[in-house]
Homo-oligomer: A and B are copies of this chain.
Amino acid sequence: MLSCPGSASKSQHQAVRDTLDVISGKWKLVILAMLLDRPYRFKELSRELGISPRVLSKELQEMEQHQLVRRTVCDTRPVTVEYASSDHGRSLLSVVQAMSDWGYLHHETIVGKKRSDDPAAKMG
């Protein structure tokens, strides 16, 4: 899986593309990040993320197709539906984790750079 410089890249960037196809869009990974924490109901996700029902529905359906989430109808009144991460969805944890970590790092890096670059940071 390694060593030979340049040879792994071909299939590697293909694998990256495959993954990107599955988690495309602004929302899927964010939704998954939440479901990795605990199950959520439709409305909960909608409110928590500020995402319209139409879009949320579509995202969840695509994620179901790709077997990232499981949809469970609860026999309550009125009926509620619970979405939870599947095992396959959990296998994306490393990706979510990496992206979440990097999100923080990026923030730090950019803010840090700005501070030491910005003359105004010298106060005054």
- A34:B15 contact, CB within 8 angstroms: no
Selected A-B contacts with CB under 8 Å, 14 pairs: A9-B34, A12-B37, A15-B99, A15-B101, A15-B104, A15-B107, A17-B26, A18-B103, A18-B106, A20-B99, A92-B102, A94-B98, A94-B102, A98-B98
On A, residues with C-beta under 8 Å from B are 5-6, 8-9, 12-20, 22, 24, 26, 29-30, 33-34, 37-38, 49, 66-67, 88, 91-92, 94-107, 109-110, 113
A38→B6 CA distance, assembly (Å):
8
A71→B24 CA distance, assembly (Å):
27
Main secondary structure of the interface of A (DSSP, over half): helix
Instruction: Point out the residues of chain B lying under 8 angstroms from A14, CB to CB.
Output: 103
Give, as a whole number of angstroms, the nearest-CB distance from A7 to chain B: 9
A18→B26 CA distance, assembly (Å):
10
- A19:B109 contact, CB within 8 angstroms: no
A112→B18 CA distance, assembly (Å):
16
